[in-house]
Amino acid sequence: MDQKIIGRKEKVSLPDLGLKLVWAKVDTGAYTSSIHAENLDVVEINGKRMLQFQALLPGHKSYTGEVVTFEHFREKKVKNSFGQTEVRYLIETTFELADEIYSAEFTLSDRSSMRNAILLGRKILRNRFLVNVCKVNLARQYRNK
């Protein structure tokens, strides 16, 4: 598969979360990708441990308020942007970028103080994309071709 060229910010879709064409920061300095999540709760449903949360911030134009539930999740230690280690929930979900659908891991974190609610790290980018840091929204050129 050829690597596609994307910019430093791109619109991504996360169908399992009900999100379509949401701006994401492409961060080659971050290893793990992240999504802003609120109201995280581990609950038991039909005898299974499940993770429930709301993606994005209320007020974000793509915010639905919908509570999404994941059966498969785990906790992961992550160094935040300040160099401090914190434990975050990690989910595996699909995302769409440059007219391709991929499976990838995202941690759930409080990104309320960040400009973008979604961050795409190196693990997602590796062997899939090249990043032109001077441009934004280059993935649109691949849509519907």
4-139 CATH: 2.40.70.10
Q: Which residues contact 101 (CB under 8 A, 6 or more apart)?
A: 94, 95
**pLDDT tens per residue across span 54-66:** 999 888 899 999 9
In the structure, what pLDDT confidence band is assigned to residue 1 with cuts at 50, 70 and 90? low
pLDDT value at position 58?
Answer: 86
What secondary structure letter does DSSP report for 125? H
73 within 8 A of 51, measured Cβ to Cβ:
yes
Sign of CA dihedral 97, 29, 124, 129: positive
